[in-house]
Amino acid sequence: MKDDKMNKVAAVAKIEAHKSGQQFSDSQKSHSEKVAQLEQLVQFKADYERTLTAKGSEGMGARQFQDYRLFLTRLNEAIAQQTAELQGSEASLSAVREEWVSKTQRNQALDQLVEDRHKERVRAQEKNDQKRADDDSMSRGQGR
């Protein structure tokens, strides 16, 4: 592959790796938000259960107790739903991370290839320059 084409391929790989890194960052942020939401729900449930226990020991009406239990049931459903979302988020985050790692490795490999080819061209040019200098020196030496 010609150097210009290789440079273009490397540039595209760099852009893809950057985009993939941004997607990974966004996924991490989203996942962290889901974790925080679940933690809030669990904490809210614990607080609500403490309140129910305290009020229950003081005595409360059957209707109020039923409302508390119904609310706790809905809170448990919300926790279950958030837990399921978190599991999906973990799977998604893992897939996005794998893609980012893959694209980053590809980008690094192409960068290394471009650099190696550049060094190879420089060495070849230096070798040609040295050969010309040697040839010029020999032809001047024979001209005497």
Query: Running DSSP on this structure, what letter comes out for residue 143?
Result: T
Give residue 84's pLDDT: 97
Question: Count of alpha carbons within 13 Å of 24, Cβ hemisphere only?
Answer: 17
Residues 112-129 pLDDT 10s: 999 999 999 999 999 999
Judged against a pLDDT cut of 70, whether residue 74 lies above it is answered with yes
Helices within the chain (DSSP H only)? 3-58, 62-142
Residue 17 CB-density burial (10 A; 0-12 exposed, 13-18 middle, 19+ buried):
buried
Question: Count of alpha carbons within 13 Å of 72, Cβ hemisphere only?
Answer: 15
**What token pair was written down for 106?**
């590809």
Judged against a pLDDT cut of 70, whether residue 10 lies above it is answered with yes
Give residue 1's pLDDT: 52
Residue 96 CB-density burial (10 A; 0-12 exposed, 13-18 middle, 19+ buried):
buried
Query: Running DSSP on this structure, what letter comes out for residue 1?
Result: -
Domains in the chain (CATH in brackets) are 3-142 (1.10.287.1700)
Give residue 111's pLDDT: 94
Q: CA gyration radius for the chain?
A: 33
Query: Running DSSP on this structure, what letter comes out for residue 46?
Result: H
